[in-house]
Structure 1
Amino acid sequence: MKSWQTKTREIARYIWLIFDYYVWLIFNLSKYRNINKKEIKRVLIIHLGAIGELLVTTPLVSALKSSMDIEIVYMVSKGKEEVFKDNPNISKIIIYDKDYSKLNPILSESKYDLAIIISPGNEKFKTLTNLCKKQKINYTLAGFGGVKRGLGLSFNKRSFPSISKHTVIKNLDIIKPLDVYNKNPHLEFYINKNDEKSAKEKLRKLNVKDYIIVHPGFGLYKKYPYPSRLWPHDRYAKSIDLLTNKYKIKVLITGSDEEKEIAQLIHNEVKNKNNVIITNGLFSFGELAYIVKNSKLLIATSTSIIHLASCFDSPLIELGGKELINEWHPWMDKENYKILIHEEVCTQCNRLNCRKKTIECMNAISVNELFNEAVNLINSYKYKHVEGI
């Protein structure tokens, strides 16, 4: 259940979004300017968010590319370019640089007819809106909001704000003024042959065929004293032992190098250590995509790997907690995932650090609950060659 503080913040957030939208609607005269789709040949999309946030924009990208004869250039923050490196719908990836003098010449190499700013990041909002003006981009679309970003007045078209729609749908709402739609949106990630080959080779060296993925960490967790997405490591260990006792299957613990200490804590508690392999930092993002695509089950908290699994409809269990379920649940076949969340405790606060210092949303999830749901998913999913099933 959302606490009264969470509900208050949610109401305040929506009031601001509505206020921001109607200020734009009243005072921005450029909204009356019709968009001539025939003039649009080159599109700049800007999203400076996290990997998972970028993956949920892929239905927008594919809709644009399939409906219009255009070239798409995508601007992302440093380290996120792997998400789109093999996407055939994107011609070029630009890395954001806060130094305008470095970024402007890169953008000036080509003329852009349309800019779509999906999520600029709070501190980068003014820089990017000014950038669009100086580049003399004909049309600008936006679909974001936030008190720290200021009023979004300088856009031709904006989507009506919502806090109840899934982010995939909110992103697609941005391009409705172009009469571009995606009736069957799905997330996309393209695995190249080299990544597939190298991932297979690494699995071979690890002597792994059938496997479950456990992804316990998330970015920047060390920054917070009470990280709201961490499930107790001893519960991960007990769950792993139950699953490896039932099925003759390996467990890969994935994550970044920075999250390796979490993996080690789990491994120390596991009894069936021969069936558990720590792979933190072993796989590139493309290789990880192949690993996720072919896993028998993914167990993770709300982080980018959830959305990566959604690209392939891979079976997953999400340990819910602080996440806003309506806006960020896995975008895939509902039969292939389960979100474990307990509404009787404080949930969906959307904070990275637990205000109560209890992380009760995660602690409410039991080992037996996870194990039973894991068995249900493994037994019902399309893969039938795991020994023990």
Structure 2
Amino acid sequence: MKILLIKRGAIGDLLMATPLIRQLKLKCNASIDLLVGENAAIACRDNPHLNRLIILPDTDFSIKGVFRFAIQLIRLRKQYDYVFLLDKHWYFNLMANLLCTKTVGYYREDWQKFTLYYPVLYNDVTRYHCYYYLDLLKQSNLASPDYTDIQIDLPIKDSDQKYINEKLYENNLEDFVVLVNSGGNNAYEKTGIRMLPEDKVIELLELIIQQRKKIILIGGKVDRVNYDDYISQLLDNSNCYNWAGELSLAQSAYLISKARIFYTTDCGAMHFGVAMGLHARLKAFFGPSDPRHILPPDYIGRSSIWHDKENFDPAYQLEGVIDKNKKFFRNIRISDYV
């Protein structure tokens, strides 16, 4: 059996989909390919349960790229027995019919069911996202999903471990904290809405430094510029290391696994901490999103930090709609979490 998965992007979402990929492979003995946007492809580049990655420019997944996307799908026509749509937009469900195969995906409104062969209702953002991915397997009738098997697959090569260990040794880093302030800056969103405000980040850095801890800041190239600005405002920045933009995904995950505490916002890197089994060592700040949809249930009580329930609107997680006038993270007392 041949199965195609389609996901335009979002590193965190792809990592949460790895239990589905693993169960499809092991329970169905299927050949599994993933059609994915180029920026998020790194999340599954070394996944042992995927047979092939088909990587497209992120712009091909936009409405403006509809013709390029259609051509790619037509090239794959009749090559697969099933196609699983991991995005929630009806546009992808509709386009997948060009493949002339059985489609499995999500709907939010009743009319969207008619674009899918096997539809799954997506309407509850208090439920862990990984379970929704496993619902696709259940609805397809290919196999019964195991909702207890939700470990994220994120392979770490020996070479990546060696690189990080040597980098830590060279910088005399044994007892350290890792911090990521990202979220809402990607190929499909530019608001930065899930980032801690600057004053909160600087307060967090200052409090960690007062405890005589060393801090490693990691993330992408866009984060590096922000971190340089934060560090320049500290009274003493001698124990801050800005490694953003220097590490691969796997190297970042391994570094996080060695940290005393990993502070993060709701972003792709947060899922590295889950994949590495940090549990109480993970401290995740949430603003516009409900942590119950993003973190496994056993992480909610000890890892999630959320003081914006009164501001919460499920439309952000269901449809990507946000009220730009709302301010998030203002009710968090940083000193309570250091």
Counterpart for residue 143 of structure 1: 106
* Runs of at least 5 residues in structure 2 that lack an aligned partner in the other structure: 61-67
Q: What is the CA deviation profile of residues 282-310 of structure 1, one whole-angstrom value per residue up to 9, with x for unaligned ones?
A: 11112111112222211121111112211
- Contact kept? 1:229, 1:362, Cα under 8 Å: no
Distance 1:365 1:324 in 2: 15
SS in 2 for 1:65: helix
CA RMSD of aligned residues (A): 2.9
Q: Identify if the C-alpha distance between structure 1 residues 223 and 152 changes in structure 2 by more than 3 Å, giving closer, same or farther.
A: closer
Question: Mapping of 1:1-389 within 5 angstroms?
Answer: 41-96=1-56, 98=60, 99-100=68-69, 103-104=72-73, 107=76, 111-119=79-87, 121=89, 124-130=92-98, 132-133=99-100, 137=101, 139-145=102-108, 151-163=112-124, 164-176=126-138, 177-184=141-148, 185-220=150-185, 227-246=192-211, 248-314=212-278, 315-330=281-296, 333-334=299-300, 336-343=302-309, 345-348=310-313, 350=316, 355=323, 357=325, 359=327, 361-371=328-338
Distance 2:322 2:336 in 1: 23
Bigger CA drift: 265-274 or 323-332? Answer: 323-332
| Relative contact order higher in (CA < 8 Å, ≥ 6 apart) | 1
The structure that has the greater radius of gyration is 1
Q: Identify if the C-alpha distance between structure 1 residues 259 and 274 changes in structure 2 by more than 3 Å, giving closer, same or farther.
A: same
- Contact kept? 1:310, 1:331, Cα under 8 Å: no
* Runs of at least 5 residues in structure 1 that lack an aligned partner in the other structure: 1-40, 372-389
Q: Identify if the C-alpha distance between structure 1 residues 235 and 93 changes in structure 2 by more than 3 Å, giving closer, same or farther.
A: same
Counterpart for residue 384 of structure 1: none
Q: What is the CA deviation profile of residues 70-112 of structure 1, one whole-angstrom value per residue up to 9, with x for unaligned ones?
A: 111111111222111111111111113531475247636x831
SS in 1 for 2:76: helix
SS in 2 for 1:174: helix
Amino acid at match of 2:143: D
Q: TM-score normalized by structure 1? A: 0.73
CA shift for structure 1 position 348: 4.5
Q: Identify if the C-alpha distance between structure 1 residues 364 and 75 changes in structure 2 by more than 3 Å, giving closer, same or farther.
A: same
CA shift for structure 1 position 253: 1.3
Count of residues in correspondence between the two structures: 320
CA shift for structure 1 position 227: 4.3
Q: Identify if the C-alpha distance between structure 1 residues 331 and 205 changes in structure 2 by more than 3 Å, giving closer, same or farther.
A: farther
- Contact kept? 1:313, 1:333, Cα under 8 Å: no
Runs of 4+ in 1 over 4 A off after TM superposition: 120-125, 221-227, 330-336, 351-354
CA shift for structure 1 position 311: 0.9
Give me the identity figure in percent. 17
